[in-house]
Structure 1
Amino acid sequence: MKIALIAPAWHDPLWESEKEKSIFPPLNLITLAAMTPPQHEVTILDESLTDLDFNEKYDLVGISAMTALAPRAYEIADAFRERGTMVVLGGMHPSALPEEAIAHADAVVVGEAEGSWQRLLTDLENGQLQAFYRQEKRPSLEHMVIPRRDLLQRGRYLVPDTVQTTRGCPFACSFCSVSQFFGHSYRFRPVEEVISEVRDLEGEVIAFIDDNIVGNPAYARRLFTELARLPRKVKWFSQGSLNIARDEELLRLAAASGCIGLFIGFESLSPANLKAVGKRVNLVDDYRQAIKKLHDHGIAIEGAFVFGLDEDDESVFERTVKFAQENRLEAAQFGILTPFPGTPLREALEREGRITNNDWSEYTISKVVFEPKNMSARTLQEGFNWAWQEFYSLGSISRRLGLAKKHAAILWALNLNIRKRFNHFMERLRAGNLGLPQPSLARQ
């Protein structure tokens, strides 16, 4: 069979890629391609880099989508099906709402694809395709396939080498889709298999696409130790939790193994908020010391903060930005609380009648789709806009990064790129093309 695996493009200016270059390749799709029996011909189509030809003849089109990308995924699916092409949908959103997704597909893969994908292909060849494919148990991460990186346009990605070492997260934040998709479990690959894959990569920088690479400290120690022993020194970054700062040995090993940065979910400066969303492991009183420890080891931090939690009032924006600036975070991602399908947060807000928008294309964490508790939706949107604008102002970038910070050139380029994308977001907002209330930006 001739199979196309498609990654829909973002159309929110905060997250969309330029056509010439994207940040990461679709690791999920090249992994799926590696699971595909060799008699089938597989093409990877990353819509952020290439236009789709709906008249191209395929026997099967597979599309993976998160919630904000679901409407575009459905458009693509409908267009191919109108031309007689079989379509299968999978990923976070179709797994959360399979009955919705099946209206746009011939089959839906619910959850992780190992085993389900192979059964689906066999059933399709035998004319016995089912509507839904689900795993009976969580797949082991031993002997995982090596992703088909040969199918990528490697030069069109800023970080073409991406690797997964774990799945899931030991935490279960109420607003996060990860635990719902991967189950309330934390699984990891054998270290020797990860090292074997890393050894064969071409680039000097690796992105470990984990939700929490230090979720199991014992495993992380083994992984970092072996990475440090590689004859070719690599640089890497990933997502992790602040727990790493409480383990001096783990922190030292991370730095020695080539860690140059971590994306860390601080979420909130309010202990009450952290307790409410199920992230009690974050201790606000330890934030500053933890940041200093990571910086002392040469590890940059992109901090993630959520606006709109129930304890937040309109003072939260200035307090959070000031904290991030004073602690010289190299980057920050500010997000608006978003009730994604399948999460405990959505269930709670549905019970309370506080969800105001079910247009999935608006679920980009940059738009308000619910009624906040201690401020208006407009105030939340305006505060979010101001936080991004203030944190990525030229003065703020200069104060946070200076010129002497390690990897200063890379960090300046990252911040200026984010600043450019946010300015594009604001241009679209002012032009009324994002469906949001016009902001006053009174805090400028």
Structure 2
Amino acid sequence: MKLLFVSPGWPKGRLWGELGFKFPALSLAALAAVTPPSWELALCDENLAPLDFDTDADLVAITAMTPQAPRAYEIAAGFRARGRKVVMGGFHASNLPDEALGHVDAVVIGEGELAWPRLLADFAAGTLQRRYHAEGLLPMETIPVARRELFAGKGYLLTNTLQTTRGCPFDCKFCSVTAFYGRKYRERPVEAVLAELQQLRPVNSFAFFVDDNLVANRRYALQLFAGMKGMGFKWLSHAPIDFARDEELLRAAGAAGCVGMFVGFESLDQETLAAMGKVTNQARDYLDDARRFRDNGIGILGSFVLGYDGDTPASFERTLRFCEEARLEAAIFPILTPYPGTAIRRRLEAEGRITSNDWRDYDMGHVTFRPRGMSAAELQEGHDWLNRSFYSFRSMYRRIWKLHRSVQVFGPMNLGFRSAIKKSARKKSCSA
């Protein structure tokens, strides 16, 4: 039997749809790893190639984040009109299974690896059910190596993506990770991760750990970094800002080849941080924290959520000045987005402040609620200005002009974001 995995495209004219560098959906390769060998597998990523609806696949499987959901539903309709069965999983379908079931034949809720073999067996037997709910959580020692041969020849910037942990022990109110996994943090055996890295090393010396918080378990992280030392990888991942205050762990990451971390600063206002649930962030220490990262050869892709209740029109310039003073190598500036399943959505719904449920606008670049400290128009304009200003040549020079080993990653990243922002602005202007 034939199975087609589909990753829906991001809309052109939106930031994520215009970025030139593309990464694969590791979740699809993870599902492929628990698919019986009797199935013939293929992958279509709309971000890289057009979708052929006249496939001879017996089953089509779609994964989608919330802003991709409308396109996922369009894709499902196209295949179903041709007599194909379509199943869907991922964060959005797991949080809104009833909505998804209005468009597909079956939904996988939660961690797909547990329910996937049962779904395939039911399909082969002609007894496909509507819902497949993962019972419990996947034992981390049973996670097989992802079948990355699905990505071969697709044109991805990097296919060496892997996961060592799942979940996050924190409970940030805007984060969909906790809504999906709960506050449970689980680790794969270090020896299994190191063995997988050994397989990946001949492919590329760069790697990206997609973990939401790579260093939540200090003991585990130290063991992993010790095992990676000398393997020759240059790698990136995610870590909270207080990672900077653990000198031993920071040095170990740098010695293991870490060249960059995605770090959630989120706000420069301590009261706002408390409202977000960012319990480890101390805004007064941010400049010192950023310096410690840099001193260990680790660049920062910072994140700052815009539009929380304490934000005003003055917040945008203040954020830019901080980013330049801290010499952050890169940053994203997501507009607060009330994703399904999150605590912030429940609060904004209760307050009657959500103004749009058009999932296409849930891309962190559009205002979908009523802010308190400014108008929706001011928030949108401030977001757009901050992106343009941060990725201007003047700001790039101020932030990354000194030679640093992370520049090999963050230099091209800055140029890629700059190009995508300019393309998005042009298309937005043309459609206005």
Q: What range is the shorter-chain TM-score in?
A: over 0.9
The secondary structure found in structure 1 opposite 2:363 is coil
Question: Which residue in the other structure is 2:45 paired with?
Answer: 46
| CA deviation string 1:86-136 (max 9, x = no partner) | 000100100000000001111000011122000001111112111101122
Cα distance in 1 between the residues matched to 2:404 and 2:244 = 20
Do the aligned residues in 1 keep the contact of 2:3 with 2:59 (CA within 8 Å)? yes
Cα distance in 1 between the residues matched to 2:45 and 2:39 = 19
The secondary structure found in structure 2 opposite 1:109 is strand
The secondary structure found in structure 2 opposite 1:338 is coil
* Residue type at the aligned position of 1:310: D
Instruction: After TM superposition, list the pairs within 5 Å mapping 1:253-268 onto structure 2.
Output: 253-268=252-267
Do the aligned residues in 2 keep the contact of 1:34 with 1:148 (CA within 8 Å)? yes
Q: How big is the shift at 1:17?
A: 5.1
* Residue type at the aligned position of 1:9: G
Gapped runs of 5+ residues in structure 1? 434-444
Question: Which residue in the other structure is 2:23 paired with?
Answer: 24
* Residue type at the aligned position of 1:93: H
**Distance change (3 Å), C-alpha of 1:46 and 1:155:** closer
Cα distance in 2 between the residues matched to 1:92 and 1:300 = 29
Question: Which residue in the other structure is 1:13 paired with?
Answer: 14
Instruction: After TM superposition, list the pairs within 5 Å mapping 1:305-324 onto structure 2.
Output: 305-324=304-323
Cα distance in 2 between the residues matched to 1:217 and 1:30 = 28
Q: How big is the shift at 1:416?
A: 1.1
Instruction: After TM superposition, list the pairs within 5 Å mapping 1:42-441 onto structure 2.
Output: 42-154=41-153, 156-201=155-200, 202-230=203-231, 233-432=232-431
* Residue type at the aligned position of 1:223: L
Cα distance in 2 between the residues matched to 1:314 and 1:16 = 27
The count of residues paired between Structure 1 and Structure 2 equals 429
Question: Which residue in the other structure is 1:438 paired with?
Answer: none
Cα distance in 2 between the residues matched to 1:287 and 1:421 = 28
Q: How big is the shift at 1:407?
A: 4.0
Cα distance in 1 between the residues matched to 2:276 and 2:327 = 26
| CA deviation string 1:10-66 (max 9, x = no partner) | 115311256xx6431111111111110000101011111111111112110000000
Do the aligned residues in 1 keep the contact of 2:304 with 2:333 (CA within 8 Å)? yes
The farther-off stretch of 138-147 and 92-101 is: 138-147
**Distance change (3 Å), C-alpha of 1:407 and 1:270:** closer
Gapped runs of 5+ residues in structure 2? none
% identical equivalent positions: 47
Do the aligned residues in 2 keep the contact of 1:17 with 1:23 (CA within 8 Å)? no
Query: Hey, which bits of structure 1, 4+ residues long, moved more than 6 A?
Result: none
| CA deviation string 1:348-390 (max 9, x = no partner) | 1011100001100010000000000110000000000110111
Do the aligned residues in 1 keep the contact of 2:48 with 2:154 (CA within 8 Å)? no
* Residue type at the aligned position of 1:218: R
The secondary structure found in structure 2 opposite 1:226 is helix
RMSD: 1.2
Cα distance in 2 between the residues matched to 1:300 and 1:229 = 20
TM-score after normalising by structure 1: 0.94
Cα distance in 2 between the residues matched to 1:130 and 1:191 = 37
Cα distance in 1 between the residues matched to 2:324 and 2:299 = 14
